[in-house]
Amino acid sequence: MKVALFGRGRMGALVTEHLRRAGHTAGTVFASDERGLSVEQMAARLAGHDVAIDFSVGTAVPRNVSACVLAGVPVVEGATGWHDVYDTVVQGVKAGRGGLVVGENLSIGVNLFYRVVARAAELYGSLGGYSAFIEEAHHALKRDAPSGTALRLKVLLADQFGQDVAIASTRAGQIPGVHRVGFDGPHDQVTLEHSARSREGFAEGAILAAQWLVGKRGVYRFSDVLDDLLGGKA
Residues acting as catalytic residues? 138, 142
Pairing of strands 99-102, 218-221: parallel
Task: Specify the DSSP class assigned to residue 8.
Answer: -
User: Closest Cα partner for 147 from 181, 182, 120?
Assistant: 181
User: What sections of 6-81 are H helices per DSSP?
Assistant: 10-21, 39-46, 61-71
Cβ atoms within 10 Å of 216's Cβ, excluding its own: 13
Are 94 and 102 in contact by the 8 Å Cβ rule? The answer is no
Tell me the β-bridge partners of 133: 166, 182
Which amino acid is residue 113, in one-letter code? F
Q: Which helix (H) or strand (E) holds 231?
A: none
Are 28 and 50 in contact by the 8 Å Cβ rule? The answer is no
Give the sheet arrangement for strand 131-138, strand by strand. Answer: 166-171, 131-138, 178-184, 189-195
Cβ atoms within 10 Å of 18's Cβ, excluding its own: 17
Q: Which helix (H) or strand (E) holds 52?
A: strand 51-54
